[in-house]
A and B are shown apart, each in its own frame.
Chain A
């Protein structure tokens, strides 16, 4: 069937993932890119592509006018936003509509109702969905935060109203800490979102992060597609996501109640397309609504594994008016996804840089979503995620075993200079993920959100690897050989480094002319 083109308003692995489904369904694909992304992998999956501005996301991927202009130039009918960037901006949905384009996702109206955290709280309160106690809205100052904290009891969380991803968030254990935490969180929120407003929330103990995937038809029909547990987080960002949820396996009634609540809200707001209700579940199986993500989630492959569905295909067909909501699909087996990041494995600070060699795993029921192939650069300008690795197996323990093998196969290494030292500042969390997949609490399903903090062996740099006096005979032989071979070759080839750098300059000039 001949269909109208889809502009994919994103980059990286998600742009590739969306493009693959577009192509499978016969939608021509249109890519966009910033100046920093002219050579990016995602463009190779698009039939045509358009430059939309400088490297800074504000100037390019978030630049509504440039994105819409590109769609017009390409004669695209649909815009798929992926996740991040413009995916949850209601004003972008309005702009698409005004420009005669179909936004592949929820309406601006339901985005406003559910995407804004404070508005969403009012919506779910009206539907009697339980929610974590806290301030009704943004608090005026630290004094008001203090008053509310006294009412609901410490510990509390300060959160940015415009926030996400843990930015502008602080745990506060006592009244004394509140002033400085408030100041810090305000500054961080202002820097990250241009809006320093904060709200107060009670901190739940033994928390699990569990989310319900929903899909709505925009006419008031909606179904759930099971849950994902994403409790294992660092810096309040997910690093391990799985379905079914270990905590809900202990509280099956909670699971049903959460499904029912999520679908009730989705129907009420006439939600269209894929969306996720995030909940916190405590150690007793009580659940509280946190927020709704009005987009496709990073971790949607987990749901695709257990349902056998292609969520992007559903989104596209719904946008094209060819979708009828089916019954709730059966979920089978167990799936886990981990996120491989360019970051330090001990303190999780981003550590982007050039990749010299990457090898992603494969094999039965192993999926690697990535936009990095042979070599490339993890750009400083964007999210430092390198790949999402996901697996499926009939049982959770088998899925973990499969993931362990997949992670041991994985290699991501910086380019090496002649002397064997790393070029650039790339580090990855691979060694951390390898430890995580072997951690006893993870194996047992005791996946509370503070798991990483509780298990310092996961991040302690002094425990991260064996000391040099423990080195095995093969490793010692390897080190001696590599040392001698690299030493003997580096002395004779001092010149070639200059040549390499000048060909890069040559390439940069050539690319500059091409635009």
Chain B
């Protein structure tokens, strides 16, 4: 039976048993060095784990970064500690990791909340600088300026002024421009 491995940030793990139960314990080899015992208990929002370092709780929400890569937002329970965009790569001992995306970043700018587009300040194909205002949206009776999170070229702009939009709706995309990578 081949062993499962996973990689998270600077850490690579080789699991003695495939962890699939909500509660359990196993040996895991860390960064090709020594093995430690890990006990865990998964709950609805995350996990409690006990290692040689102690007892730790984490909330984990899976999301996608702006380029569509799956990753986790991890918050440590009872601490002021958070990590964003933590990708977990998995594989078995004889193969390469899967899950890493190497494509260039296309930012999909999404509405943070439901509201109405009051003014659109850019056009399709236009090249933006970072933080350039792209549109004004009215939500919760307040006007909010939406800015470009990175430099690039506007594409997929299909909204009209006055249009109502749902939370999470894609507003436009910002594609990287040659020689203008931010």
Extra contacts, 8 of them, besides A474-B51, A479-B72, A483-B6 (Cβ < 8 A), are: A409-B78, A420-B61, A468-B9, A468-B86, A473-B53, A474-B53, A485-B42, A489-B20
Distance from B71 Cβ to chain A, minimum over Cβ atoms (Å): 7
- A-B residue pairs, 10 tightest by C-beta: A465-B82, A476-B8, A420-B62, A483-B88, A471-B9, A476-B11, A474-B56, A488-B20, A192-B141, A468-B86
List residues of chain B with CB within 8 A of the CB of A416: 44-45, 61-62
CB-nearest residue of chain B to A188: B143
- Bound state CA distance, A313 and B141, in angstroms? 34
Minimal beta-carbon separation of A472 from chain B (angstroms)? 8
For B6, what are the chain A residues with a Cβ–Cβ distance below 8 Å? 480, 483-484
Q: Is B76 an interface residue (CB 8 A)?
A: yes
A454 to B145, CA, bound (A): 20
Q: How far is the CB of A435 from chain B (nearest CB, A)?
A: 7
**Shortest Cβ distance from A434 into B: residue:** B80
Within 8 Å by CB of B61, from A191, A344, A414, lies: A414
Chain A residues engaging chain B, CB cutoff 8 angstroms: 167, 184, 187-188, 191-192, 235, 344, 347, 349-353, 356-357, 380, 384, 404, 407-409, 411, 413-414, 416, 419-422, 425, 431, 434-435, 438, 464-489
Which residues of chain A have C-beta atoms less than 8 A from B82's C-beta?
A: 431, 464-466
Contact indicator B53/A475 (Cβ below 8 Å): no
Residue B84 contacts which of A191, A414, A465, A488 (CB distance < 8 angstroms)? A465
Which residues on A sit within 8 Å (CB–CB) of B59? 411, 413
Other-chain contact of A421, B40, B63, B87, B114 (Cβ < 8 Å): B63
- In the complex, 14 of the A-B residue pairs with CB atoms within 8 angstroms, ordered by the A residue number, are A349-B113, A356-B44, A408-B78, A416-B45, A416-B61, A421-B62, A422-B62, A425-B112, A465-B83, A474-B56, A475-B83, A479-B88, A481-B42, A488-B20
Q: Which residues of A contact B71 (CB under 8 A)?
A: 468
- In the complex, how many angstroms separate the beta carbon of B82 from the nearest chain A beta carbon? 4
Q: A438 CA to B79 CA in the complex, in Å?
A: 12
B157 CB → nearest A CB, Å? 21
Cα of A181 to Cα of B40 in the assembled complex, Å: 56
Residue of A nearest to B49 (CB): A478
Give the shortest distance, in Å, between A95 (CB) and chain B (any CB): 25
Chain A: which residue is nearest B13 at the CB level? A480
Q: From the candidates A467, A471, A475, name the one contacting B56 in the complex (CB within 8 A).
A: A475
Q: Which listed residue (A349, A467, A481, A484) contacts B139, Cβ 8 A?
A: A349
CB distance from B111 to the nearest CB of A (A): 9
Task: List, in ascending order, chain B residues with CB within 8 A of A414's CB.
Answer: 61
C-alpha spacing A235/B77, complex, angstroms: 29
B100 to chain A: closest CB distance in Å?
A: 12
Q: Are A351 and B88 in contact (CB under 8 A)?
A: no
Q: Would you call the interface of chain B mostly helix, strand, loop, or mixed? A: strand
The CA of A230 and the CA of B63, in the complex, are separated in Å by: 35
Cβ contacts under 8 Å, B58 to chain A:
474-475, 478-479, 482
Q: Give chain B residues whose Cβ lies under 8 Å from the Cβ of A380.
A: 114
Are B62 and A480 in contact (CB-based, < 8 A)? Answer: no
Contact (Cβ within 8 A) B141 A191: yes
Nearest CB in chain A to that of B64: its residue: A421
* Cβ–Cβ contact A464 & B84, under 8 A: yes
Q: Is B132 an interface residue (CB 8 A)?
A: no
Partner of A435, one of B47, B80, B141: B80
With A344-B112, A468-B86, A477-B38 in contact, do A422 and B63 touch (Cβ < 8 Å)?
yes
Q: Chain A residues with Cβ under 8 A from B165's Cβ?
A: none
A408 to B143, CA, bound (A): 32
- CB-defined contacts of A465 to chain B, threshold 8 Å: 81-84
Q: How many angstroms between the C-alpha atoms of A380 and B167 in the bound complex?
A: 11
| Cα A481 to Cα B88 with chains together (Å) | 10
Q: Which of A431, A464, A469, A485 contacts B20 (CB 8 A)?
A: A485
Does B176 touch A at the CB level, under 8 Å?
no
* A contact residues around B15 at 8 Å (CB): 484
Bitwise, B101-123 to A at CB < 8 A (1) or not (0) is 00000000000111000000000
Closest to B166 in A: A425
A168 to B103, CA, bound (A): 44
Contact between B79 and A483 (Cβ–Cβ < 8 Å)? Answer: no
Counting CB contacts under 8 A, is B162 at the interface? no
| Pairwise interchain contact A481-B38, C-beta atoms closer than 8 A | yes
B49–A474 CB distance below 8 A: yes
Which of B1-55 touch A at CB < 8 Å? Answer: 4, 6, 8-11, 13, 15, 18-22, 28, 30, 38, 40, 42, 44-47, 49, 51, 53-54
Q: How far is the CA of A380 from the CA of B76 in the complex (A)?
A: 29
Q: Which of B13, B77, B81, B138 contacts A191 (CB 8 A)?
A: B138
Residue B134 is within 8 A (CB to CB) of chain A in the complex: no
B155 at the interface (CB under 8 A from A): no
Decide if A481 touches B138 in the complex (CB within 8 Å).
no
Cα–Cα distance between A419 and B72 once the two chains are bound (Å)? 11
Task: List the B residue with the shortest CB-CB distance to A193.
Answer: B141
Q: Tell yes or no: B67 within 8 A of A by CB.
A: no
Do B60 and A482 touch across chains, with their CB atoms under 8 A apart? Answer: yes
Contact B13 A187 (CB under 8 A): no
Assess the A425–B19 pair: CB atoms within 8 A: no
Docked CA distance A184–B118 (Å): 11
B139 contacts A350, CB within 8 Å?
yes
The answer for the CA separation of A363 and B8 in the assembled complex, in Å, is: 36
A467 to B82, CA, bound (A): 9
The one of A184, A409, A482 that contacts B46, using a Cβ cutoff of 8 Å: A482
Complex: A487 Cα to B98 Cα, angstroms: 14
Q: Which residue of B lies closest to A408 (CB)?
A: B78
> Which of B40, B44, B74, B112 lies in contact with A347, CB distance below 8 A?
B112
A478 adjacent to B168 (CB under 8 Å)? no
* CB < 8 Å neighbour of A419 from B40, B42, B49, B62: B62
Instruction: Return A68 CB to nearest CB of chain B, in Å.
Output: 26
Contact B47 A478 (CB under 8 A): yes
Q: Which residue of A lies closest to B84 (CB)?
A: A465
Which of A356, A408, A425, A485 has a CB less than 8 Å from the CB of B21? A485
- Bound-complex Cα distance A192 to B138 (A): 11
CB distance from B62 to the nearest CB of A (A): 4
- B116 CB to nearest A CB, Å: 10
